[in-house]
Amino acid sequence: MKRHTYKLQRTLLSATLLGLGISNVTAVHAAGFNLQEQNASGLGVAYAGSGAVAENASTIYYNPAGMTNLPGLNISVGGNYIIPSFKFSNDRSSLPAAFGTANAQFSGTRLGDEGDNAGGGAFVPNAYVSWQVSDRLFAGLGIGAPFGLATDYGDGFMGRYHSKKFEIETINFNPSLAYKLNDTWSIGAGINIQRIKAEYEKSTVVDMRSQVAGAVTQKYIAAGVPAQQAAAMGKATGDQYGPILDGEARVKMNDTALGWNIGVMFHPSEDTRIGLSYRSRIKYKATGDTDVDIHRPSAAMIGAMPAQLQEIYSLVPGSLTSSSSASVTLPDTALLSVYQRISPRWELLGDIQWTGWSSLPKLTIQSDTLPDASLDLRFKDSWRIAVGAMYQVAPQWKLKAGVAWDQSPVRSAEHRPASLPDNDRYWLSVGAQYKPTENTAIDVGYSYMYLKKSHVDNTNDGNLAQYGRLSGSYKSHGHIFGLQVSHRF
């Protein structure tokens, strides 16, 4: 027992150090932005049966009750390299309508291009350790990135008033316990300590009419004009001459919150396992800053303006900054999984998963000194169905294959955001497992994700003045390569 305790302490330290690295990883490409890729050993079967297979310590994430299937001390470390592609083709996109007014005559805006491929490669690591404390009690720790998103179109994208760059990163620490009730039933539970970081960049309409009106009003009051009259004169000046300019907004926020997960495992026979697990919602109150860089007319352009306009434009700052916050509720999930050995060589797996994406109908960013900004998402709850098989081709070698349908929470062109141009995903997966020793397994896997052509016609709930129209279609797909190493002491 002392030998196992020492190895457990050393393994926990290594897993924690790996977890610190995950906080700098941007993870991408799962339905919505929930990452199924919490190990690589399940990649080859499209993660079918992930809550019932319990072949290594990564069961901590999918179903903690599965730890009762792992005697001794177990570690599992791996990662997936995910390469998504989101390519936009324009139909009838347009600039924000505010740039069509006289106040925007010096904004210098143009529609732009179709943008870069918004996808990009990312490595998503994971680390797990489980320990048999007694005949019936098991403990474990999992570290991973259960949610992630990254899209980047570049500066010239015609949909830049919706999004230029959007990143969500998470790191999750999941200490867990499992208890073997008898030879048929096991239960498990865990706590999730989850950190989120988000960064959002977009072009924005900078409407200075109210600021100009306020500054002019104060000028008239200082000159002795009655306050009511000064306010009327200031408003008239702001409405007529207050500039509408182009700007670049950057929002950075973070928070840490808690959640929980539970699971149960049923062994009706030696060859059959059925797992049911649930992961709770996690509610964040993220805080940070919003910075806006304003594209002011050049000094030469201002110098050529009439004197009154020169004075007006002198009131326009080069940038604005404000503290900001956003309430975000990441969804809960429920997973039903089945594992069945049908012969000494063949194993079949399947599962069905529900995700409560309706927890994110809208994302509102509130700022102390800047206008609030909202993304109208209208996400819907989604389902995922996967089936797979494993074949023992030789004592040390096992081959894997699987398929899955992954329903998107985005259901309409009108509410498909540029930050997440999502659609239903279809997985085709293959993999292999090699066991150089009885207690060591090396898993490799590959998945191709196909997304049917996605149409977008987004005005952010009719806000043409501030966002314009993003109208066109996306061609999207993805590749995932995974490697996992697991060992039992």
Average pLDDT estimate for 483-487: 97
CA dihedral 486, 264, 354, 32 (to 10 degrees): -30
Q: Is 151 left (phi over 0), alpha (psi -120 to 50) or beta?
A: beta
Task: List strand residue ranges (DSSP E) for 71-164, in order.
Answer: 73-90, 122-132, 137-144, 148-152
pTM here is 0.88
Structure tokens at 148: 């992630």
Number of H helices, E strands in the chain: 7, 19
Rounded Cα distance between 20 and 484, Å, is 19
With a pLDDT cut of 70, the percent of the chain lying above it is 93
Question: Which distant-in-sequence residues (6+ apart) come within 8 Å of 9 by Cβ?
Answer: none
Structure tokens at 269: 């026979």
Q: Give the model's pLDDT for residue 4.
A: 47
pLDDT digit string (tens) for 141-186?
A: 999 999 998 899 998 999 999 999 999 999 999 999 999 999 999 9
pLDDT digit string (tens) for 103-128?
A: 777 777 888 899 999 988 889 999 99
Question: Which of 16-20, 225-229, 465-469 has the weakest average pLDDT?
Answer: 16-20
Rounded Cα distance between 274 and 346, Å, is 17
Cβ atoms of 383 and 352 closer than 8 Å: yes
Q: Between 43 and 112, name the one with better pLDDT.
A: 43
Average pLDDT estimate for 78-87: 94
pLDDT at 285 over 80: yes
Domains annotated for the chain, with CATH where assigned, are 2-200+253-288+325-359+373-488 (2.40.160.60)
Give 31's pLDDT tier (boundaries 50, 70, 90): low
Average pLDDT estimate for 282-293: 95
Q: Which residues pair with 73 in a beta bridge?
A: 131
Cβ atoms of 105 and 241 closer than 8 Å: no
Structure tokens at 169: 């990163």
Rounded Cα distance between 435 and 53, Å, is 17
Give 328's pLDDT tier (boundaries 50, 70, 90): very high
pLDDT at 450 over 90: yes
pLDDT at 3 over 70: no
**Strand, coil or helix: what is 33?**
coil
Give 276's pLDDT tier (boundaries 50, 70, 90): very high
Structure tokens at 474: 């996306």
Q: Which residues pair with 284 in a beta bridge?
A: 328
∠ CA 220-226-232, nearest 5°, is 70
pLDDT at 234 over 60: yes
Phi, psi of 15 (to 5 degrees): -65, -40
Structure tokens at 215: 């500054």
Question: Which distant-in-sequence residues (6+ apart) come within 8 Å of 398 by Cβ?
Answer: 390, 391, 392, 432, 433, 435
pLDDT at 358 over 70: yes
Mean pLDDT of the chain: 89
pLDDT at 11 over 80: no
Give the residue among 95, 93, 46, 53 at the shortest CA–CA distance from 70.
53
CB crowding 52-63: b at 16 or more within 10 Å, else e:
bbbbbbbbbbbb
Q: Give the model's pLDDT for residue 462.
A: 86
Give 75's pLDDT tier (boundaries 50, 70, 90): very high
Rounded Cα distance between 365 and 373, Å, is 5
Cβ atoms of 295 and 246 closer than 8 Å: yes
Residue with tokens 């049923």: 266
Cβ atoms of 383 and 353 closer than 8 Å: yes
Q: Which residues pair with 212 in a beta bridge?
A: none
Q: Which amino acid would we find at residue 436?
A: P
pLDDT at 24 over 70: no
pLDDT at 298 over 80: no
Number of alpha carbons in the 13 Å side-chain half-sphere of residue 396: 7
Structure tokens at 284: 């964040």
Question: Which of 17-21, 133-137, 155-159, 442-446 has the weakest average pLDDT?
Answer: 17-21
Give 32's pLDDT tier (boundaries 50, 70, 90): low
Give 449's pLDDT tier (boundaries 50, 70, 90): very high
Rounded Cα distance between 209 and 206, Å, is 9
Average pLDDT estimate for 22-38: 62
pLDDT at 27 over 50: no
